[in-house]
Amino acid sequence: MLEAGVPNLDVVLGGGVSVGSFNLIAGGPGVGKTIVSQQIMFHNATPENPALHFTVLGEPVVKLLRYQSRFPFFDPSRVKTAVRYVDIGDVIRKEGLDGGLEVIVSRVERYSPAIVIIDSVRAVREIACGGGDYGLRTFTHDLAQVAVVWNATSFMIGEYEESEIRSGPEFTMADGIIWMAMEKVQNSVVRKLQVVKSRGMPIVPGLHSFRLDQHGV
């Protein structure tokens, strides 16, 4: 079991995230997906059980580091030892999705991470929609397939509409789905989180309100 390390999220998850599971953190823009993934990563990563974070086009590594470093959970002394960031935007732009997948696989083989994060698959999907036989469906499927043989717990992050959760192939393949959203309540916005599924875990179903502040989620 992997602790999320986000206050109360482990309760909602029914104890945590299963080791080796393939998870999606999904929701619209700005809901807090990247922050949650960074919290999970810094809570668990050690030099012996490192984490690999792949960024895909959406958020270049420098930009990501700049704003994640404001949070107390971000520990710069662990970057490059326990936590490694890899930008695969360039390789995807030049060599397409199969090239991106190759880099992911080679880095995973090199570092044997305990945690793999891919942020975000929305960017991947945009390229996939642009044409080519090797579309998102194949990419996600291949990713899920290779992830099975990794000893890693993986988190794919993606911007999705709520309606897509029922149709996307990646949602069927995932062992766990965390859905995050912002709901308008009168003039305020309330942040909500739902564990849509987590195979084998006694989750607490339903929407849970959460707060995002200078400490993270």
Ligand X SMILES: Nc1ncnc2c1ncn2[C@@H]1O[C@H](COP(=O)(O)OP(=O)(O)OP(=O)(O)O)[C@@H](O)[C@H]1O
In the complex with ligand X, which residue's Cβ is closer, 56 or 101? 56
Among 18, 21, 23, 34, which residue interacts with Mg ion (rule: CB under 5 A)? 34
Contact 84, 145 (CB under 8 A): no
Please give the Cα distance from 195 to 190 (Å, whole number).
17
Q: How far apart are CA 43 and CA 182, in angstroms?
A: 25
Does 33 interact with ligand X (rule: CB under 6 A)?
yes
Of the candidate spans 4-12, 26-34, 42-50, 160-168, the one that interacts with ligand X by CB under 6 A turns out to be: 26-34
- Dihedrals phi, psi of 57, to nearest 5 degrees: 55, -55
Q: Does position 34 bind ligand X by CB under 6 A?
A: yes
Quick check: 35 binds ligand X (CB under 6 A)?
A: yes
Local structure of 175: helix, strand or coil: coil
Q: Which parts of 149-188 interact with ligand X (CB under 6 A)?
A: 159
Q: What is Dmax (Cα atoms) for the chain?
A: 50
DSSP state of 164: G
Q: Which of 31, 92, 127, 165 binds ligand X (CB under 6 A)?
A: 31
Chain residues that interact with Mg ion, rule: CB under 5 A: 34
Q: Which residues bind ligand X (CB under 6 A)?
A: 27, 29-35, 159, 212-214
